[in-house]
Structure 1
Amino acid sequence: GESTSFTELKGNVIMLQFTASWCSVCRREMPYIERDIWNKLKNDDFVVIGVDIDEPAEKVIKFAEDMKITYPLALDPGARIFGLFADKNSGVTRNVIIDKNGKIAHLTRLFNMKEFNIMVEKIKALLKDESE
């Protein structure tokens, strides 16, 4: 793949979805992210990046294929990116929504539909604010 930086993405609403192939909760959440966020909300002002924690590229590619996701998965060797948002030894399943100014606008931990739906509405609100 290719590399990117937060600097390049500034001005966009960004969703970081922390994940790993061995994470059962992540696997449960990913089809919803694909269907209800990525496929419905993707546009030039919104970026979804799955951040796979500390797994080799071959495993991450197979994981994306197995999960049938089309949003990009990034590698996070040593959980360096994850460590910016959580203790490196804490549970993987979490989402970070970053507004167009680079500020954290919303965080989730684990997965339940109520929290997921709140996150979707937050993303929609941030995208609406951007277009005005």
Structure 2
Amino acid sequence: MRKFFILYSFLAAGLLISCTASSEKKSAVSDTPSDSAAVAQEPLSDGDRQFLVKVGDQAPDFTMELPDGSHVTLSSLRGKVVMLQFTASWCGVCRKEMPHIESRIWQRHKNNPEFALYGVDREEPVEKIQELIEATGVTYPIGLDPDAGIFGLYAEKKAGITRNIIIDREGKIVMLTRLFEEEEFERMVNLIDSLLSES
């Protein structure tokens, strides 16, 4: 029984290693205990999610470089439904979520001119983005956020990822997600479908 408890303790400790980074460390470190408990028990409250924006806010504008050297500016996408996915290669939860984004959202809407999806890779070089794409098999575009400047417009700079921002055609935030929770993900998929069905 004691051996089982020790093994369980090690496994529990391993699960606490989650997707949080700071500007000093670009590696996975444990999220706050409240994040870990919330994953197992209930969705995080808005206060625990460490967002600087809220539903109803105008999405902060930014220009992001893509790996091919081109740039995209958020405000240039006005009139489209936009999804931003903050990610990084070291984030295990991101790697788990990304294939679902690929299959449930991107593959369904990538040819819709009224939809845009961009991954925003936090504090990593192009080589790491390529590794992430290969590891997850995603085909949606992922841009660079080398100093977490874009991330810092939406959430506290030391806050964790994965997180998604859904933006309506007028540029307003309509949904914020944190971590990968299946029920919340399903609501996000349904919201995107609903927004795109509006004329």
Same fold (TM over 0.5): yes
2:103 equivalent to 1:35: yes
Give 1:52's match in structure 2, choosing from 110, 121, 129. Answer: 121
Looking at structure 1, the residues matched to 169 and 178 of structure 2 have their Cα atoms a distance apart, in angstroms, of 22
Deviations, residues 6-46 of structure 1 (Å, cap 9, x unaligned): 12211111000000000000000000000000001221100
Runs of 4+ in 1 over 3 A off after TM superposition: none
Q: Equivalent residue of 2:194, what SS? A: helix
TM-score, L = length of structure 1: 0.95
Deviation at 1:5, TM superposition (A): 0.3
Q: Equivalent residue of 2:71, what SS? A: coil
Matched positions, count: 130
One-letter identity of the residue aligned with 2:184:
E
Greater RCO, CA 8 A, separation 6+: 1
One-letter identity of the residue aligned with 2:185:
F
Q: Equivalent residue of 2:175, what SS? A: strand
Give 2:134's match in structure 1, choosing from 65, 75, 96. Answer: 65
Partner of 1:20 in structure 2? 88
CA RMSD of aligned residues (A): 0.8
2:152 equivalent to 1:83: yes
Partner of 1:99 in structure 2? 168
Deviation at 1:51, TM superposition (A): 0.5
Q: Percent identity?
A: 52
Give 2:76's match in structure 1, choosing from 8, 13, 20. Answer: 8
Q: Equivalent residue of 2:72, what SS? A: coil
Deviations, residues 47-72 of structure 1 (Å, cap 9, x unaligned): 11010001001111121122111000
Moved more, 28-37 or 2-11: 2-11
TM-score, L = length of structure 2: 0.64
Looking at structure 2, the residues matched to 79 and 11 of structure 1 have their Cα atoms a distance apart, in angstroms, of 26
- Which structure has more helix as a fraction of its residues? 1
Deviation at 1:95, TM superposition (A): 0.2
Q: Highest CA radius of gyration, 1 or 2?
A: 2
